[in-house]
Amino acid sequence: MKLTNIVPAVLLAALVLTAGCAYHFGNEDAQDLSIVRVDASGAEMWRHTIDSGFGGLFEAILSVAPTPEGGVFVSHYYLYPPSSHPDKLTWTTCIGADGSVVWDRNFSSSFKSMTPTPDGGFIGITEFGSSVVRVGPEGSPVWKINQTMIADALPKPRKDRYNTPQFNTVVPVGPERYVIAGNLWVPSWSFMATVNGSGEITEAKKFTDHLSIGNLVPMPDGGWVVVGGGQVSRLRPNDKVLWTKTFWQAPDDLPENATVGGPWVRGFQVNEEGIRVLYVVSVSRVDEATAVIYGVDEATAVTYGDDGTVLGEVHMEVPQSCPITLAADGGYAFAALESDEPGTYGPLSSEGSDVHIVKMDADGNPEWDRTVRGPVIRIETISAVEDGGYILGTDIRR
């Protein structure tokens, strides 16, 4: 069965004629971050503005994650810190379920991903994948694992003693047990390491069979499903690769003056219905006469059976550079800036616009469109939470 659905034509027209979630930003401008929490119907529950308080100029979100208590962790950074506080580069803010700040801390690095822990803290992977940090419920670092610690724990021949790991994901596998995984600098090598709640490495193993690990999910039989490098793989309990499928390949017939970016994995889900990968490819074309870039993001969700059989594909087109996520009910949601023209999305705006959350069902059919008030100059992230709601990370004019 192959499912193919495209967002309605009124939106498709806008996809070609507008710049998606791009934004206007000049050296004279300054911006803050606005975190918006909405419920399963798209209605706003609360919003919180993050301002460094140090002046500064350009702030950006690296990642967000829901807290166990219903709040939000936000890892963010300042591209141009004020001269009075040159060290204030990377921050993490914990926002409570009511939208108020629980704690705010200046870490030595921002986090590209954060895995919540049962005690109200999280385990974060630093921006360039060089370390893993356990952060407690009050925002204090509890332990840290660096590249050398993993490299020393991995089995390695003499010639491999200088191999360096890059951390990509942290997965809970039991009470106070986590698997940290990623890739090694030797091409097509990867690793997994198990740590306990105290940060002690209890097991470390290396893969040398062209397995790229960007994310992974444990399976009931003791094996794994792994996504990375444009591929999805199923591992047996003995860590042998059962099958590998390539979910995207670059086209051979790319049109003239067109470029393709990606694929970027925007969702990865394993349940009784199968193994699903949501990824986005950005296709852009430059008009040589006007130098204007026209483009669209093509989102595809591929569902595999446990034997690797493709059970279905859903194809969607969304405004370029607008974030999309897997929804808690098995559908999808993307966020886009509002245009002056009804039914279209994605203008460049120096003053800011309202935001639309567009919800689609599991087959890619539109369900609803909700407006979240602005003014917003850019949407950075949209993340689904277990109660069916969403977290929006946006930029606003200061």
Which residue bears the tokens 């091409």?
187
CB 142 within 8 Å of CB 121: yes
| pTM across the whole model | 0.85
Q: Is 159 exposed, middle or buried (0-12, 13-18, 19+ CB in 10 A)?
A: exposed
CB 320 within 8 Å of CB 19: yes
How are strands ordered across the β-sheet holding 201-207? 165-174, 177-184, 190-196, 201-207
Domain edges within the chain? 14-397
The pLDDT tens digits of the residues spanning 279-306 come to 999 887 766 665 555 677 899 999 999 9
Q: What is the pLDDT of residue 243?
A: 96
Identity of residue 281: V
166 vs 78, higher pLDDT: 166
Q: What is the pLDDT of residue 342?
A: 44
* CB neighbours of residue 139 within 10 Å: 18
Q: What is the pLDDT of residue 286?
A: 67
Q: Cα–Cα distance between 50 and 64 in angstroms, integer?
A: 13
Question: Taking the domain 14-397, which CATH number applies?
Answer: 2.130.10.10
- Residue 33: pLDDT above 50? yes
